[in-house]
Structure 1
Amino acid sequence: MSTVTSNAGQDQSTLFRGSDTEIALKDEKSVRGTPNKLMPAFILGEELAELADHDERIVVATADLANSSRTRDFHARHPDRFIDFGIAERNMITAAAGMASCGMIPYVATFASFCAILCAEPIRTDCAYPRMPVRIIGHHSGISMGFYGTSHHSLEDLGMMRSIAELTIVCAADANQLRAILRASVDHPGAMYIRLGRGRDAEVYSEVPIDFRFGEAKMLRDGTDLTIIATGSQIHASLAAADTLAAEGKSVRVLDMHTIKPLDVSAVRKAAADTGAILTVEEHNVIGGLGSAVAEVIAGGPAVRFQRHGVVDEFSLIGPPAALYAHYRLDAAGVTAVAREFLAGTGTV
């Protein structure tokens, strides 16, 4: 099944960039991809290969991003169950639906902007509608592509995917949680969108959580003054904010809302009742994503103070990811400041 070639030392990623030889302006490490030890959350190919060792239904595909997604680690161990479609994302999604209809469990990976946004229609019509067990993996989500710009940013993907019926949506906070998500996804019914960061996510879970369940939020810290409901890349920053605020005498609960759909409604309602104040934090437009999902739950319910934090309905600036996180207050210092302002009654969104 593999389509990766080895002519003149090239792999499929090099071929689709139009070069007959290795790229001379980059060293071997750059050409082959950043080592796993420098990208702790990018264990995608490794974990899928482990699962495939015990399940012959699992196949993996990418769209010219085997290095960026580390799915090349899967190819190294299961070359006959790996396909690089080249720059043909829509074809990849539809083909994956076809494979799923034949009893396979396809995991297809590309940049979040290229799958969730570019391929929304085939995800809806070919995967979710017929309930095909296709796992669409959107890596480098949010603003993590930095200076690659708006075409590569994905601040709308959660909102677009949430509007598709019968599609499970889950965000990984770190490598260990990603392992848990992948393990739980194998026999999960229907199509699924798995959102990843850029692979440099700080550790949140010291080991693979054995109690992971789709649709069940995880309380990582209890508190009485405020609940921060965060997802994906913002879990670590939210925990750091809770630690800082604790030193200031504020008790902050932190919920990891890893599953955006189906949302853990009971956890949201309990947080509202227990703390009376909810702040959502996400690397996404404040419209359509986690904040909107939580707002839909608390609307019409008991009075609760509520604020959304993310990118406020604009196309993000272009620059290095770290600078963008600081600018949009999506780093630890920024989330701390936003939570402090919210508690003081000076929040704006």
Structure 2
Amino acid sequence: MSRATREAYRDRLLPLMNQRPDLMCLDTDTGLFNAEYITAAGDQYLNLGIAEHNLMGMAAGMAACGRMPFVNTMAAFATSRALEPIKIDIAYNQLPVRIMATHGGLAAGHLGPTHQALEDLAVLRVLPGMTVVVPADAAATEAFVEQSLSLDGPLYVRLGRKPTPPLPGSTAPPVIGRAQTLRQGGDVVLAACGPYPVLACLAAADVLAENGIEATVLNLHTLSPFDTETLVAAARPASLVVTVEEHWRSGGLGGAVAETLAEEAPTRVLRLGMPDQFVDEVGNQEHLVTHYDLTAERVVRTVRAALDQKETIR
């Protein structure tokens, strides 16, 4: 059943706050928390209004005093308007602030480039000690919220807006810092993060298998700390690695994969993501994902073209 990752986070947090009085929920008028939720959370919920810079500073202060704040804002504002306090107040002091950033990627497509977050992973994965995760579905979101309670230092979680399908099959719950191998194959590696890219890679792997090309599919949900071991082990026997992400091609998952393999297991890496331009189309997330061709069909075309080129060179 499709479910929004931001709603999965909200619904899992309240019972945890009831068990842990040190947990706090700091909001910025996101509209995610209704009156019933706010009443149930009591003094552990605070709405600061649209004040993202203040949000991060207050969260840092609470964390320094022994609390564990979960802060709620849109990803575009968390990683641009509030970047300075994230860097100086939170990351520099390695404080346990959980930045729960909604409307990640193209999820706010209907609101235009001001509200779209296509740089957030690049910005935050380079901050020392910052854990950065991108759940692929609601179940993963719940798992990450629970795991965050025993995680040292700050955490950034990229969440969506609307319901997205669950990953197919009986996949074991993801673990922060460990890549998920969703499918095994020795010819190519398809690596992705986030709901639509991961589903696209799984669908592409099915089509490629029908044509005799076996693909390993990795859900690289944690960009920092990065699971170098799993990626390298998958890439060594493969002739090609293709990354797919709802992010600009520079600096995000594709950058992390390329950097890692350049040092550990050099191989060809093709990065599929948003082109180097601001979004020039208005529409919902599904429309923009299709418009910019972050699809299973494009993954299949990319793999086939790359393998055909290699055969021609030989």
TM-score (norm 1): 0.83
Q: Report if the CA contact (8 A) 2:113-2:278 is conserved.
A: yes
SS at match of 1:282: strand
Following the alignment from structure 2 to structure 1, what is the Cα–Cα distance between the partners of residues 143 and 171?
6
SS at match of 1:60: strand
1:213 to 148, 172, 175: 175
Following the alignment from structure 1 to structure 2, what is the Cα–Cα distance between the partners of residues 257 and 73?
36
Following the alignment from structure 2 to structure 1, what is the Cα–Cα distance between the partners of residues 206 and 222?
24
Aligned to 1:27: none
Aligned to 2:294: 330
| 2:151 pairs with 1:162 | no
| Structure 1 residues 180-207: Cα deviation after superposition (integer angstroms, max 9, x where no partner) | 1101001200011111122322111667
| Structure 1 residues 292-341: Cα deviation after superposition (integer angstroms, max 9, x where no partner) | 11111111444412111101222122321222111211133333333333
| Structure 1 residues 7-30: Cα deviation after superposition (integer angstroms, max 9, x where no partner) | xxxxxxxxxxxxxxxxxxxxxxxx
2:215 to 238, 252, 262: 252
Aligned to 1:34: none
Structure 2 regions of 5+ residues with no counterpart? Answer: none
- Matched AA of 2:177: G
Q: 1:105-184 to 2 correspondence within 5 Å?
A: 105-184=68-147
Number of equivalences: 307
Following the alignment from structure 1 to structure 2, what is the Cα–Cα distance between the partners of residues 97 and 215?
23
- Matched AA of 2:18: D
Structure 1 regions of 5+ residues with no counterpart? Answer: 1-36
Q: Report if the CA contact (8 A) 2:25-2:71 is conserved.
A: yes
Point out 4+ residue stretches in structure 1 off by more than 6 angstroms: none
Following the alignment from structure 2 to structure 1, what is the Cα–Cα distance between the partners of residues 253 and 92?
23
| Structure 1 residues 233-271: Cα deviation after superposition (integer angstroms, max 9, x where no partner) | 211111111112212221011001010001111112112
Which one is further off, 170-179 or 157-166? 157-166
Q: Report if the CA contact (8 A) 1:46-1:71 is conserved.
A: no
| Identity, % of aligned positions | 35
| Structure 1 residues 125-163: Cα deviation after superposition (integer angstroms, max 9, x where no partner) | 111111110000111111121121110011111111122
| Structure 1 residues 268-295: Cα deviation after superposition (integer angstroms, max 9, x where no partner) | 2112212131111110011111111111
Q: Which structure has the higher relative contact order (CA within 8 Å, separation 6+)?
A: 2
- Relative distance call for 1:305 and 1:91 in structure 2 (3 A) is same
- Relative distance call for 1:87 and 1:334 in structure 2 (3 A) is same
- Matched AA of 2:241: I
Q: Report if the CA contact (8 A) 1:74-1:82 is conserved.
A: no
Following the alignment from structure 1 to structure 2, what is the Cα–Cα distance between the partners of residues 80 and 343?
58
| 2:26 pairs with 1:64 | no
Aligned to 1:225: 187
- Matched AA of 1:342: A
Q: 1:46-125 to 2 correspondence within 5 Å?
A: 46-67=11-32, 70=33, 74-125=37-88
- Relative distance call for 1:270 and 1:62 in structure 2 (3 A) is same
Following the alignment from structure 2 to structure 1, what is the Cα–Cα distance between the partners of residues 35 and 300?
38
Q: Report if the CA contact (8 A) 2:186-2:214 is conserved.
A: yes
